[in-house]
Structure formats: structure tokens, C-alpha cells
Amino acid sequence: MMEYFEDSDKLLELITDFGIAIASALAVLIIGLFVIKKLTNALRKYFDRKDFDESLETFLLSLSGIALKLMLFVVVIQMLGVQSSSLVAVLGAAGLAVGLALSGTLQNFAGGVMILIFKPFKVGDYIDAQGHAGTVSEVQIFNTILKTPDNKTIIVPNGGLANGSMVNYSAEPTRRVDWTFGIAYGDDADKAQAVIRKLMNDDARILQDPAPFVELGALADSSVNFTVRAWVNTPDYWAVHFDMNKKIYQTFAKEGLSIPFPQMDVHVHNN
């Protein structure tokens, strides 16, 4: 009978000790996650005050958050009685298995590092890559987040961005705007050229060095086409593109110049 009570006391003690360990581990986990959140917010505020590069900021915030949570996980596991040597062995085996299973994810991590080192783009740039186009919103440790003009969110893996071809529309301070404007056969080509040149020169957003290019480019099936090229500051690209289309349409009408519809002449011969 005495042995029975002794065994019961030991079992109760073990249950109590394990319950205390679980409660302590949960408390550390909850407090740790709260502290990590506060540290991450403080780090974000520090980056904002120091005017850090936004691409580097989002990458470091994501990386530090994962690293701190991993450290917290190790501490919690040890509080539950798992020995450090056993934990290292388990983590090593798990790391190997995860590494083999997530080779693509590790490639994305390496791609994120390469993006931060070589900076093919930064937050705020408009890029076209991997079949998607949009403004870079975030550079995370595994993915880059794009925002499209119609407010869609696109998640692009960093591995493909680092190794594939890409067009960065925001990298240079100036861009060239190209148009093709057509007039009807029989219209005054010299007058049309002069009208286009004047509109180009009157727009203060269009740079004069290099000067706008306006030349008769093609005698097409239904129209005489002028090839028009002008350089603008990159932020003005689309505004100038659309404004000039409207100005050409309105001014050609006032000047008696026609923008022809596609047409075909049919000749009927009676035999």
C-alpha cells in the first residue's frame, strides 16, 4: 500500500512539474512573440528615421522576424526538457530534410540576397519580369511584391527575378515616347509635320535635348504615317503620351488635316 502511495506521489509530482514547464513555456512563447513584434516595430521606425533603402528595409525586417521567432522556438523547446545536444541533432536532421524539400525556397532566398546586393530594382520602380508588370511594393526574403496599376497584388519569387530577364522602366531618369500619327493621302505633309513639331515644342514636359524627332515614316495602305519620338522625364511618360494623342486629334481637325479610317479602293470593270 505504501508503494502505491509513493508511486502516486511521484506521478503527481511529474504531472505537476510537466504542467509547470508547459505553462512556463507558453508564457515565454506569448511574451516572446509580443516582444518580437515590439522589436520589429522599433526596427521599422529606426529604418524610417535613418531613411534606409526601402528594399533593404523590408528584406531585413522579414529576415530578423524569422530569426527571432526561430530563437524563441529553441528556447521554448528547451524549457520543455529537450536537451541541447538532442535539439541540435534534431534540428540538423530536420534542416537537411527541409533543405532538400525546399530547395526552390532556398533559391528564392539566395535570389533575394542577390537583388539587395546588385539592386536591379528598388521599391517604387515599375518593372516587367516573369510575365508580370507592376510597381515594386516590397522585397521580402523569398518573394518580391508588385502592385499593378489596377491595384492587384502580384507575388513573384526572388529566384526567378534574380536569374531571369527583366525590364525596369524606372531605372533611367528619362524615357523616349514613340507615336505614329497618320494623315490622309492628299493632305499637306509639310503642314502636318509643322503642326506636330509645334505641339512638341509647346509642351514644357518634352525635352529639347535631344530634340523631338518628326519625320514621314511610311506610306501605309490607308494613311501617310509620321514617326514621332520625344524624350521626357520618366515620371511624365504616360501623361505626355496620352496628352499628345488628344492634342494631335484636336489640332488636326482645326487645321483641316484628316486622320483616315482604314479603307480599300475597289475598281469594277465591265467586260
The C-alpha angle with vertex 116 and arms to 72 and 138, in degrees rounded to 5, equals 70
Q: Does domain 112-168 have CATH number 2.30.30.60?
A: yes
Higher model confidence: residue 73 or residue 217?
A: 217
DSSP 261: P
Strand, coil or helix: 192: helix
Q: What is the pTM (predicted TM-score) of this model?
A: 0.62
Question: Which CATH number does 2-101 carry?
Answer: 1.10.287.1260
- Residues 206-234: tens digit of each pLDDT: 999 999 999 999 999 889 999 999 999 99
**Residue 33 CA: distances (Å) to CA of 57, 109, 141:** 21, 24, 20
State yes or no: pLDDT of 98 exceeds 60: no
Q: Does domain 174-254 have CATH number 3.40.50.720?
A: no
Mean pLDDT in the chain? Answer: 84
Which pLDDT score is estimated for 150?
94
Half-sphere exposure of residue 26: CA atoms within 13 angstroms, side-chain side: 6
Give me the mean pLDDT over the 152-162 stretch: 93
- Residues 19-52: tens digit of each pLDDT: 777 777 788 888 888 888 888 888 888 777 767 6
**Residue 56 CA: distances (Å) to CA of 98, 119, 121, 216, 221:** 26, 10, 11, 48, 53
- Domain positions in the chain: 2-101, 112-168, 174-254
Fold equal for 2-101 and 112-168: no
